[in-house]
Structure 1
């Protein structure tokens, strides 16, 4: 007979839900073009003098990438929350099932007579 362990399920649920926070923190660290470039000046593709900033196309591409990645992080965080909730619900159902079974056990060998 398989052994069910609701406490372990709840422990795993907590660990999975913690991933939600990690995804949110990672999302916050992913920014577009902000502040000085750590790799030095990025010149406009036309090599125009006096323009050490990225072109509008590069900025738009980076912002688009950032926005899509933020969507992926949000989806993953939502999935972790849902999975944690499902695990907690499974633990609750196991506890209720075990309690109901304990109340309705029938002894057939006559040892309690």
Structure 2
């Protein structure tokens, strides 16, 4: 019987896919947005309208919103990588069980395996 995949290869790929989970988590942690002093400075409206945020605050808020959306994407990708790795491991287990069951139920009558 010719097979296009084997359990060992599937488990190897599962490990590589699951490693992507860690890479996504590490990348997420590196995306922090604006921390410390506002890099855009203390910019004010020309007419000093009271009660309105400074344009630099708008920029910081936009960057934080972007960061939050990207964190959500990184989390989703990491979860997907874990699920994919688990599915590959389950498929490898099923292949091994199928091979074991087939080996137990094969009867050779012509003596060709002797």
**TM-score interval for Structure 1 and Structure 2 normalised by the shorter chain:** 0.7 to 0.9
In structure 2, what is the Cα distance between the partners aligned to 1:13 and 1:65?
31
> Which runs of structure 1 show a deviation greater than 4 angstroms over 4 or more consecutive aligned residues?
none
Shift of 1:107: 2.4
In structure 2, what is the Cα distance between the partners aligned to 1:41 and 1:4?
54
Number of the residue aligned with 1:69 = 70
In structure 1, what is the Cα distance between the partners aligned to 2:16 and 2:87?
13
User: If the length of structure 1 is used for normalisation, what is the TM-score?
Assistant: 0.81
Mind listing any 5+ residue stretches in structure 2 that lack a counterpart?
49-53
Number of the residue aligned with 2:45 = 46
In structure 2, what is the Cα distance between the partners aligned to 1:3 and 1:100?
19
CA contact (8 A) 1:42 1:54 kept: no
Q: Give the alignment's Cα RMSD to 1 decimal.
A: 2.2
Mind listing any 5+ residue stretches in structure 1 that lack a counterpart?
none
Matching of residues 100-111 of structure 1 within 5 Å: 100-108=101-109, 110-111=110-111
